[in-house]
Chain A
Amino acid sequence: MRISNIWRLGIKELRSLARNPALLTLIVFAFSLLIYVAATATPITLNTAPISIVDEDLSPLSARLATAFYPPYFDRPQTISLSEMNRRMDAGIDTFALVIPANFQRDVLAGTAPALQLNVDATRMTQAFTGAGYVQAIVSDEITEFIQRYRAEERPAVDLVLRARFNPELDPGWFGAMMEVISNVSLLSVILAGAALIREREHGTIEHLLVMPVTPAEIMLGKIWPTALVVFAAAMFAITIVVKTWLAIPVAGSLALLMFAMALQLFATTSLGIFLATVAGSMPQFGLLLMLVLFPLQVLAGGLTPVESMPDGLRLLMNAAPNTHFVALSQAILFRGAGIEAVWTELASLAAIGCAFFLFSLWRFRKSLR
């Protein structure tokens, strides 16, 4: 293996990329604007959740409850009739509908603990649980305050003080922005490496390389390093300029450690891209394979939904995916400020997966050239 060949072949890839303005524009777009949009998409988990109130009591207390819901957590509630409620929830206009029964205030004051009914659209998983909890807390506070004007109520003796570590406001923007960067890193590296190989095959240039004194390993490495370099540079730009400066999101941990982890991840994903290209015969097949492989990788890596909540078998399987480890690593480093002593096992797994992917792809690549 000759380093100079790998270097030359890589330079050639960079030159080809430079001649594809559409692709360059897309890369810039993916690592700047898309990150920004993702970061600002949902400022808080429960953001302006649509709620309406069916007020059959029409008492000062029910009026007080209606004013207790306001942004950012809830939208200003609409007061609707009971008959409207079903239609609105069916149409997905409201996620929550609170029904205040007639004589509610009277019964509260009488101490008979009347029932409020909260309807939740449970197909909106993210808001359903959290929102129900918030509604409970808000209603409880309001009623307690209201009642204290009539009779003294003892405070609970034991208080629960809840604090969120690493992201005190639980601002999903932090999370969204970083996950967007991470997801674009895998996406771009797999596509660039794989498509570059298919392109060489479709244009017959790979054959030309094979009559020259270069080995398959050199050709493959000559695709891996420029792809990794481009994606790496784009991601660093996104993290330092877009995330840290523009969006002013604090990055807790060591950037150097993250860079190291990203290099390992890129080694694995570019190898994966080459592997997919050896399986696919043409660009359309490659496009489909990407959808099949990349989306599950992206969606199930823990970036969108927690890994713990996946079925066991799937979780085990996802442990073999580089993305799972990379997402875990970046969450640890970026949010929790974890150092190498905390994440070395994940790093080792990622490196091992990268090597396995590389060797397997190289074997496939050699075979596909026969």
Chain B
Amino acid sequence: MTADDGRRHPAGETLAARLQSVSHVFGKTRALDDVTLDFPAGAMLGLIGPDGVGKSTLLSLIAGARKVQQGRVEALGADMTDSRQRARVGPRIAYMPQGLGKNLYPTLSVAENIAFFGRLFGLGREERDRRMRDLLDATGLAPFPDRPAGKLSGGMKQKLGLCCALIHDPDLLILDEPTTGVDPLARRQFWDLIGQIREKRSEMGVIVATAYMEEAAAFDWLVAMDAGRVLATGSPEALREQTGTASLDEAFIALMPEEKRRHHHKVEIPPRPNNGGREAAIEAEGLTIRFGDFTAVENVSFRIPRGEIFGFLGSNGCGKTTTMKMLTGLLPADEGTASLFGQTVDPHDIDTRRRVGYMSQSFSLYSELTVRQNLDLHARLFHLPAEKIPARIDEMAARFHLKDVLDALPDALPLGVTQRLSLAVAMIHSPEILILDEPTSGVDPIARDALWQSFADLSRKDGVTIFISTHFMNEAERCDRISLMHAGKVLVSDTPAAIVEKRGAADLEEAFVGYLEEAMGGPDDGKAAEPQAAGLASAIAEGGHGTAADGFLNLRRILSYARRETLELRRDPIRAAFAFIGSIVLMFVLGFGISMDVKDLPYAVLDHDQTSLSRGYTLDIAGSTFFTERPPIRDRADMDRRLRDGELSLAIEIPPGFARDVARGNGVSIGAWIDGSMPSRAETARGYVEGLHAHWLAERARETLGDRAPSGLFQLETRFRYNPNVESLVAMVPAVIGLVLMFIPTMLATLSIVREKDLGSIVNLYVTPVSRLEFLLGKQLPYVALAMVNFVTLTVFATTVQGVPFTGSLFAFAVGGVLYAVAATGLGLFISSFMNSQIAAIFLTTIVSMLLAVQYSGMIDPVASMEGAAAVIGAVNPATHFITISRGTFSKALGFGDLRSSFLPLLAAGPVLIGLSVLFLKKQAR
């Protein structure tokens, strides 16, 4: 057990969480190393420590989002390695992962997001609505219930995340860096809110990982971590006492092991040499940009002389990032000009780009390249001399403490380290201007100080101009000048000291908050509405968790996912339109285009005989619609060449003396050459030629022998059933319905899940009470519905526009359609259950659809004639059976009874595929 001074250890009967000898490794990295820790219940608990020391891993283990590798993890008394206990305790825990709104759905509105989580936790409509109203009031989000989550500012996103976490009234709230990248005002509101909730429900425990020491200072109990181990635990005061330091920031640094501390020293920025007459490096004059009727940046002007560190502060979503993008040329300004080095920004000016380094807010490097490869790529793209690159990479690695991770992939690294990598990349080519968009968000205090020291060196020694945005007040204070921005406008621009003075505030943060509050008028303005604690009180007082582990399948949870999926589909009209119009286009093109009819085959004759008899023979062929005559063949070589070129599909050779030999009754042979490069066409052509030949023989016999001609031994009456005219359309259209239904719903179902994995919202499957089967069924339902809409449209299209008669049982066909839609979407679910990359998933789905629907479904070649693997695929393929049903009901006037043997496998296909998907889908991250 770790030392625990327990001075302010809150009284509680149970522990919020308990870890015993927990270790966790990712590849070669040891994220947690034999951690044993008790988290007291009902308190505000903080996890502090540098980036990448295992804080997030620890939180996700407690939340049950990650599989425990080694040791024992208990949360609220439940063993998190046991899936049943985890399912039981799950509804009492709420987890907000790292990253702004990572578990939210960007296209869904504020209210829809909250309702989604409410349904997952089994809240009835009335309770859900009431709680949602109260939470929205409390967080100040009430004015924007219909705004899509993706359009919210960072602070609002985090508040929404909190609403979603609180909707089911958890006993344990786990927040992973909830305020990273959130502006000071929003951050203050966020913690006020948590405080109010805790006032009403003191039994609720909160575990927070944070990089802000001033936040941690207000917590009850802290755990300081480093390198996967616990360094110290205790109240903030206890930690300060233990280290003999005045602030928690300093205490944190003092707690770090010697080797990490050694590099650290207070940031010192020498004053700028006072020569005001120097030219401007960055200049903006009346910059304005509008997105639709929304003015994102309005009339922003500033002038930054060379070598200055210029800070950009402001609430989330106020236009800082947009302004920076205009400076880099990524966005064209609607009005005003931006100039770098006295030259107007021109997106096509390659040379200016070489003098600028830009770091965007979100990580935008290649996650599939290692740290070293990323640095190398950028160095080369900036055309650094090849021989200097290795040295430059080493230099950057040393400066940004990346030496140990040079060969790691960015995905495996914590936020703070990837931020440092982004900075290193932005600076690899020694630019004269650095434009940095929140470069220190999520970076731990020690590393942040180190970064600032390099900024100072760059600015003062190398004369690099630094344009930086930040939410940290102590960083803003280090800038030469700062601008405060709000709602697209610059409120004030001056040195930090002057701003504090002008405002008459105690410190910069107070001045900043003061300016913002002054600038915000009515409630329409963003985050004006003061949180209304009153509403929250009632929301919390009701208490009672949603009902959770009730039975095998919970319809409400299934519908919750189904509704979410439907909403998303509706919000993406392009996707819906593609799905709808696309199927008709495919039907039209493929229905008419896939034609087995062989006609207009080009042929030519090599006639050595040149008699009326020989010409009569060829005239017969010319008269047929199957063949089109080409100029006669001159000789064997000509024939060979023309067949080879593909100009001819059939060549007929009539031997010399043909008429004479026929007259004499000598045996004579006519030669016919068919282009065999496409076997099915060749077979059909062969049939035609033989038919024409037999016809000619019969005619000849009648001419020469008259009535004495033998009438033949027998007659073969061939009845082409179901499709008397042997039209391709009749044979193909019912099959194409099966093909289209296999293409579109399958692809959509696959991507709907792989996408959640790619974008991170899959974590909701991990930490909410929804089971895998419920999740899958909920995802599937909307696409089955979509498939059925397509099914109806296609059927109507086939019978009306394409004029294919429907003769059988419509009911049987419809039932077949439903079963097939379930199987086709089930196939998508199955693919997505083991695929993690969207590209690979698209490729696999395309191949599989093509294989199942086109090649081995009996659409073109009957399955009965297939051999080897193809025969097996054909037999278990849902498309085979649906096509049999489709053709049977369309053309053969059949119903259920006749098609029994096709319905049974189709009925089984859906459940089997869904069962396999449940088996392969993981309910926890690794």
Contacts from A to B (Cβ < 8 Å) = 2, 4-5, 8-9, 11-12, 15-16, 19-20, 22-23, 26, 30, 33-34, 36-38, 40-50, 75, 87, 89-92, 95, 104, 108, 111, 113-130, 132-133, 135-137, 139-140, 143-144, 147, 155-168, 170-172, 174-175, 183-184, 187-188, 191-192, 195-196, 199, 202-205, 207-215, 281-292, 294-296, 298-300, 304-306, 308-311, 314, 318, 328, 331-332, 334-338, 342-343, 370
Please, how many angstroms separate the alpha-carbon atoms of A200 and B706 in the complex? 80
Task: Name the B residues within 8 Å of A44 (CB-CB).
Answer: 679
Q: List 29 A-B residue pairs with CB atoms under 8 Å apart, sorted by A's residue number.
A: A15-B368, A40-B868, A41-B870, A44-B679, A48-B864, A119-B719, A122-B721, A124-B858, A130-B680, A162-B689, A162-B690, A170-B679, A170-B683, A175-B678, A202-B758, A211-B329, A213-B381, A213-B382, A287-B750, A288-B744, A291-B743, A299-B593, A305-B593, A305-B596, A309-B599, A311-B595, A332-B644, A336-B675, A342-B641
> Contact partner of A338 among B644, B662, B871, CB < 8 A?
B644
Please, how many angstroms separate the alpha-carbon atoms of A42 and B744 in the complex? 28
- A338-B353 CB under 8 A given contacts A208-B360, A208-B365, A288-B575: no
State whether A123 touches B856 (Cβ < 8 A): no
Please, how many angstroms separate the alpha-carbon atoms of A331 and B675 in the complex? 11
- Mark the stretch among B19-27, B484-492, B518-526, B725-733 that contacts chain A: B725-733
Binary per-residue interface labels of chain B (656-676) against chain A in the complex, 1 for a CB within 8 Å, 0 otherwise: 000000100111111111111
Task: Name the B residues within 8 Å of A183 (CB-CB).
Answer: 850
State whether A116 touches B715 (Cβ < 8 A): yes
Task: Name the B residues within 8 Å of A136 (CB-CB).
Answer: 716, 718
Task: Name the A residues within 8 Å of B712 (CB-CB).
Answer: 113
State whether A296 touches B590 (Cβ < 8 A): yes
Indicate if B402 sits at the interface (CB-CB under 8 A).
no
- Mark the stretch among B37-45, B203-211, B372-380 that contacts chain A: B372-380
A195 CB to closest chain B CB, in angstroms?
A: 4
State whether B839 touches A43 (Cβ < 8 A): no
Give residues of chain B (825-845) contacting chain A, Cβ–Cβ below 8 Å: 835-840, 842-845
Please, how many angstroms separate the alpha-carbon atoms of A43 and B867 in the complex? 8
Please, how many angstroms separate the alpha-carbon atoms of A170 and B636 in the complex? 22
The tally of residues in B whose CB lies under 8 Å from a CB in A reads 155
Please, how many angstroms separate the alpha-carbon atoms of A130 and B641 in the complex? 28
Residue of A nearest to B325 (CB): A207
A-B pairs with lowest CB-CB distance, top 10: A41-B870, A164-B676, A335-B677, A167-B676, A125-B596, A204-B364, A133-B687, A122-B723, A122-B720, A16-B368
State whether B715 touches A113 (Cβ < 8 A): yes
Of A119, A164, A192, A281, most buried by chain B (CB within 10 Å of CB) is A164
State whether B748 touches A284 (Cβ < 8 A): yes
Task: Name the A residues within 8 Å of B734 (CB-CB).
Answer: 123
> Contact partner of B751 among A20, A45, A284, A289, CB < 8 A?
A284
Please, how many angstroms separate the alpha-carbon atoms of A370 and B97 in the complex? 33
**Given contact pairs A41-B861, A167-B682, a sample of 12 additional A-B residue pairs in the complex whose CB atoms are under 8 Å apart:** A111-B711, A116-B714, A143-B714, A157-B662, A164-B673, A174-B679, A175-B677, A214-B350, A214-B381, A292-B586, A296-B593, A335-B676
> Contact partner of A45 among B366, B679, B713, CB < 8 A?
B679
State whether B730 touches A46 (Cβ < 8 A): no
Task: Name the A residues within 8 Å of B758 (CB-CB).
Answer: 202, 283
Task: Name the A residues within 8 Å of B773 (CB-CB).
Answer: none
Task: Name the B residues within 8 Å of A336 (CB-CB).
Answer: 643-646, 675, 677
State whether B674 touches A163 (Cβ < 8 A): yes
A40 CB to closest chain B CB, in angstroms?
A: 4
Please, how many angstroms separate the alpha-carbon atoms of A344 and B884 in the complex? 44
B703 CB to closest chain A CB, in angstroms?
A: 13
Task: Name the A residues within 8 Å of B368 (CB-CB).
Answer: 15-16, 19-20
Task: Name the A residues within 8 Å of B894 (CB-CB).
Answer: 90-91
- A16-B369 CB under 8 A given contacts A26-B844, A130-B687, A165-B676: yes
> Contact partner of A118 among B678, B718, B739, CB < 8 A?
B718
Task: Name the A residues within 8 Å of B360 (CB-CB).
Answer: 204, 207-208
- A12-B598 CB under 8 A given contacts A196-B839, A291-B846: no
Task: Name the A residues within 8 Å of B641 (CB-CB).
Answer: 342
Indicate if B921 sits at the interface (CB-CB under 8 A).
no
Task: Name the B residues within 8 Å of A75 (CB-CB).
Answer: 864
> Contact partner of A159 among B668, B730, B838, B866, CB < 8 A?
B668
Task: Name the A residues within 8 Å of B755 (CB-CB).
Answer: 283-284
- A127-B865 CB under 8 A given contacts A288-B744, A292-B585, A308-B598: yes
Indicate if B601 sits at the interface (CB-CB under 8 A).
yes
State whether A38 touches B382 (Cβ < 8 A): no
- A41-B866 CB under 8 A given contacts A89-B721, A164-B686: yes
State whether B719 touches A37 (Cβ < 8 A): no
> Contact partner of B358 among A26, A159, A211, CB < 8 A?
A211
- A160-B377 CB under 8 A given contacts A43-B867, A284-B752: no
State whether B866 touches A123 (Cβ < 8 A): no
Indicate if B901 sits at the interface (CB-CB under 8 A).
yes
Task: Name the A residues within 8 Å of B575 (CB-CB).
Answer: 282, 284-285, 288
Indicate if B796 sits at the interface (CB-CB under 8 A).
no
Residue of B nearest to A73 (CB): B865
- Mark the stretch among B120-128, B130-138, B885-893 that contacts chain A: B885-893
Residue of B nearest to A209 (CB): B381
A65 CB to closest chain B CB, in angstroms?
A: 10
State whether B369 touches A300 (Cβ < 8 A): no
Indicate if B574 sits at the interface (CB-CB under 8 A).
yes
Residue of A nearest to B369 (CB): A15
- A204-B362 CB under 8 A given contacts A291-B586, A296-B593: yes
Indicate if B792 sits at the interface (CB-CB under 8 A).
no
State whether B662 touches A130 (Cβ < 8 A): no
Of B347, B380, B600, B662, most buried by chain A (CB within 10 Å of CB) is B380
- A213-B383 CB under 8 A given contacts A139-B714, A292-B586: yes
State whether B868 touches A212 (Cβ < 8 A): no
A336 CB to closest chain B CB, in angstroms?
A: 5
State whether B861 touches A42 (Cβ < 8 A): yes
Binary per-residue interface labels of chain B (690-712) against chain A in the complex, 1 for a CB within 8 Å, 0 otherwise: 11010011001000000000111
Indicate if B907 sits at the interface (CB-CB under 8 A).
no
- A161-B846 CB under 8 A given contacts A284-B755, A292-B586: no
Indicate if B258 sits at the interface (CB-CB under 8 A).
no
Indicate if B760 sits at the interface (CB-CB under 8 A).
no
State whether B854 touches A299 (Cβ < 8 A): yes
Indicate if B414 sits at the interface (CB-CB under 8 A).
no
Task: Name the A residues within 8 Å of B595 (CB-CB).
Answer: 305, 309-311
Residue of B nearest to A12 (CB): B377
- A22-B837 CB under 8 A given contacts A159-B668, A160-B689: yes
Task: Name the B residues within 8 Å of A331 (CB-CB).
Answer: 646, 677-678
Task: Name the B residues within 8 Å of A207 (CB-CB).
Answer: 330, 360, 364
Please, how many angstroms separate the alpha-carbon atoms of A74 and B367 in the complex? 57
Please, how many angstroms separate the alpha-carbon atoms of A96 and B673 in the complex? 28
State whether A87 touches B898 (Cβ < 8 A): yes
Give residues of chain B (858-917) contacting chain A, Cβ–Cβ below 8 Å: 858, 860-862, 864-871, 873, 884, 887-888, 891-892, 894, 898-899, 901-902
State whether B840 touches A20 (Cβ < 8 A): yes
- A126-B861 CB under 8 A given contacts A16-B366, A163-B673: yes
Please, how many angstroms separate the alpha-carbon atoms of A330 and B630 in the complex? 24
State whether A91 touches B898 (Cβ < 8 A): yes
State whether A305 touches B684 (Cβ < 8 A): no
Task: Name the B residues within 8 Å of A342 (CB-CB).
Answer: 641, 644-646
State whether B672 touches A161 (Cβ < 8 A): yes
Please, how many angstroms separate the alpha-carbon atoms of A239 and B710 in the complex? 54
B731 CB to closest chain A CB, in angstroms?
A: 5
Indicate if B70 sits at the interface (CB-CB under 8 A).
no
Task: Name the B residues within 8 Å of A144 (CB-CB).
Answer: 713
Task: Name the B residues within 8 Å of A137 (CB-CB).
Answer: 690
Task: Name the A residues within 8 Å of B811 (CB-CB).
Answer: none
State whether A42 touches B870 (Cβ < 8 A): yes
Task: Name the B residues within 8 Å of A213 (CB-CB).
Answer: 350-351, 353-354, 381-383
State whether A291 touches B847 (Cβ < 8 A): no
